[in-house]
Structure 1
């Protein structure tokens, strides 16, 4: 079938990685797939170029940009799009506007988070207006579906849950060799216990709370280091917080990286301190690496990490509880290792790309009535 994925861009992030992996799987399956980017193409577009999968940029400017809408419409029409799969709110209502009158058989939107922007306002209003031309709204976890219905973002009859998936076999388990490599990279002794996290440096991830929790861990475990992978608007502010908390020398900001899989293999513990979350790709990747995990109880985190079965779940925005769980995992190494092994087994069964792609395939053909 002719599929168009419509996104804001393909810069590095969980949403974008999920789209790339899904597009590659659909291309390999024999579908004719393209990606239309509302703004610029993004740094990950080259991966699709290498496979001959078209990636188009509409170059949208601020406000209502009819030229960008016209470009999007041309790409949808030229591709003879049968299924339009949009990702998140802004891309969705812009794509719906561009698709008017093109006779597209299925219009599906995936909401990758909880829709918890501090001032959703106009964005969610426009999203609701686009519901008339939307067949299915997919959320990535049960918590997000419940919120979307409760807030009136989408009607229950049009909603469906399809959890994200990853290419599990792409991830090797954590190892002493990779731990030594990471220790050398951040210039700490090889015996240092390395706590890590991966995510954009914005308010949703609450890196500030993580740094404060890490300070408490360091009081009892001075042999620990914190590695923060990702970039964003709070980078400088977080550096200042690390300095103010007296742990600047032990908090390592690695920025935006293309070797996240290798970095994960060098960690002793993975922590996700978000205050809002959808269905975290970073958590799935940590599971696939067999890492012990501590995550906050928001969004779909507890649907991935089962407390004391595949990791630890703690309240959000509670550095004290976060620090206690981190210390527990770093101290009880045998128990933590068992949780990591259980996490790997869970993601192999429940968090694979193949499982996710098959569920979307059902939706493309039959709509929300066929929701798995």
Structure 2
């Protein structure tokens, strides 16, 4: 089995593939990954669990010569096609599975040029809004769809997109994300992590786990919090967890403008996300677009009530009034009203219990991997 993905950076799709491939190896499958850019922190993790990672290797000296990140990326893509064609011809995998648009376009074309006919699978993990900015992807993807054996979506919303693109129902499979719920169990101390972060035991703590990207809606969250600041407990805190992909400085300026710099903590990319979630009271994801968010499932598994925007599969995971609240996207006012509801401790506790139960029942890693195996064997 060969998986093709864009990078080895810490992102939702990459971590999902890591979790799934790790379990498949334990179940006796032989898995490898071809990454368009293999130089990332997850490469060593994949290889440590028995999943080799290959890709276009560029020497540090050559990278210094190219200098510009976009030039380096384009050069990698240019070299990826012949390297992948040769690899497919040499190794002849039984299954190729593409994750994310660039990997699908580059890998899909390469797989058709190779002198080998594997089974081809594609996983779409977001809504197709990216095609508006990249019409070339739209044309190539629609050309590739009929040449796939199976096409997967990770939410009903994504499945509707694929149907609109002409994929017949007989080729479609819905496989929800799955997480290792044991990582978020109640044995993790809530107050030890708060002590490390100098947060009081009685503080109301909001947390949002999402890389700092514009479409994740961080600015909406800051606007919402500024609107309700005077109605929140005095010692509220908001933890923003995720890699800065270019908007960090803008967000910090907004925090200062709203006089919340001491309340909004920018923690960057972290390896202790389960502990940070357990140290929090309310999970938030106010993105403008999603496929199906692992961050929501992790918050649920940690027993958090969730406040999310009604995009992609968010409302499939969070049932309105049961384990959280769902609000329109791009609406800081509605987001603020929902966050203000979470001041009620009894409401938080009831929704948190519902979140944890729902995560265990519907979104476990075991159920997810079982769905992949069933699909592959089919």
TM-score under structure 1 normalisation?
0.91
Residue 293 (structure 1) aligns with: 306
Residue 198 (structure 1) aligns with: 209
Partner SS state of residue 233, structure 1: coil
Deviation sequence 1:65-109 (CA, Å, 0-9, x none): 443212222333443310111101110121122222443331111
Decide which of 129, 134, 138 is 1:116's aligned counterpart.
Answer: 129
Deviation at 1:6, TM superposition (A): 0.6
Cα distance between partner residues in 1 of 2:359 and 2:225: 27
Deviation sequence 1:240-282 (CA, Å, 0-9, x none): 1111222122110000111111111100111110111111000
Matched, 1:94 2:106: yes
Q: Does structure 2 conserve the Cα–Cα contact (< 8 Å) formed by 1:58 and 1:69? A: no
1:175-186 to 2 correspondences below 5 Å: 177-178=189-190, 180-186=191-197
Partner SS state of residue 252, structure 2: helix
Cα distance between partner residues in 2 of 1:104 and 1:361: 20
Deviation sequence 1:37-87 (CA, Å, 0-9, x none): 012242111112212321112257417944321222233344331011110
User: Could you tell which deviates more after superposition, 49-58 or 309-318?
Assistant: 49-58
Deviation sequence 1:3-55 (CA, Å, 0-9, x none): 11110012101111100000001100001110110122421111122123211
Residue 246 (structure 1) aligns with: 259
1:304-315 to 2 correspondences below 5 Å: 304-315=317-328
Cα distance between partner residues in 2 of 1:170 and 1:65: 36
Q: Does structure 2 conserve the Cα–Cα contact (< 8 Å) formed by 1:141 and 1:300? A: yes
Where in structure 1 are there 5+ consecutive unaligned residues? 367-372
Partner SS state of residue 278, structure 1: coil
Q: Does structure 2 conserve the Cα–Cα contact (< 8 Å) formed by 1:90 and 1:127? A: no
Deviation at 1:153, TM superposition (A): 6.3
Cα distance between partner residues in 2 of 1:257 and 1:64: 28
Partner SS state of residue 8, structure 1: strand
1:111-150 to 2 correspondences below 5 Å: 111-117=124-130, 119-150=133-164
Deviation at 1:185, TM superposition (A): 3.6
Cα distance between partner residues in 2 of 1:22 and 1:104: 24
1:1-372 to 2 correspondences below 5 Å: 3-59=1-57, 61-62=73-74, 65-100=77-112, 101-117=114-130, 119-150=133-164, 152=165, 154-173=167-186, 177-178=189-190, 180-221=191-232, 222-231=234-243, 232-330=245-343, 332-366=344-378
Partner SS state of residue 84, structure 1: strand
Q: Does structure 1 conserve the Cα–Cα contact (< 8 Å) formed by 2:89 and 2:116? A: no
Residues paired across the two proteins, number: 360
Deviation sequence 1:170-220 (CA, Å, 0-9, x none): 222386x42x33333433433211100001111221000011111123211
Cα distance between partner residues in 2 of 1:291 and 1:76: 44
Deviation at 1:138, TM superposition (A): 0.8
Deviation at 1:132, TM superposition (A): 3.6
Report the aligned-residue RMSD: 1.9
Deviation at 1:355, TM superposition (A): 1.1
- Quick one: structure 1 residues 22 and 202, their matched pair in 2 at CA, closer, same or farther if it must change by over 3 Å? same
TM-score under structure 2 normalisation?
0.90
Q: Does structure 2 conserve the Cα–Cα contact (< 8 Å) formed by 1:204 and 1:277? A: no
- Quick one: structure 1 residues 61 and 271, their matched pair in 2 at CA, closer, same or farther if it must change by over 3 Å? closer
